Amino acid sequence: MSTVLTPQQVLGRIPQQEPFRFIDEIVKLGDDGIEAAYTWRPDADFYRGHFPGNPVTPGVLIVESMAQVGVVALGIYLLAKEGSIDELNKLVTVFTDVQVDFSGIVTPGSRVEITARKVFFRRRKLRSEVDMKLEDGTVVCSGFLSGMGVPK
């Protein structure tokens, strides 16, 4: 029996937790994509060393945020629709590949908007086209991310 999860239910099922969850809210969610937002905490410990006196958000964490939205959260939604909650509970989503281009930076305290569009979803594998923008619309990173649901 398929289940349509609400944005709040999907957010509650994301396995990443503080301090490694980089999604604050899911704004929009559907069969073809997802929109979410996150505010990068100025007091996050990694800013002390990246870079002292001129902190910027590490690219690997920007990609992680994009993956949490475009692969994990969207994948949870799509897997629940395809199967049952019992089946969903037996899986964990793993990140499999990425191809992104950076075109800007994210500074401490910035609120970003992450948008992912499903490219394909089959046999528990999801590929999404994802971009991250600052609140003013400036794109800081865009590309393709993939992942799949695997047994726990």
Provide DSSP, 27-86.
EEEETTEEEEEEE--TT-GGGGTSSTTS----HHHHHHHHHIIIIIIHHHHHHHHHS-HH
φ, ψ of residue 82 to 5 degrees: the values are -80, -35
AA identity, residue 150: V
How open is the CA angle 84-90-96, to the nearest 5 degrees?
Answer: 105
151 classed as catalytic: no
Residues 6+ apart with CB under 8 A from 52: none
Q: Which of 9, 41, 46, 50 is catalytic?
A: 50
| Residues designated as active site | 50
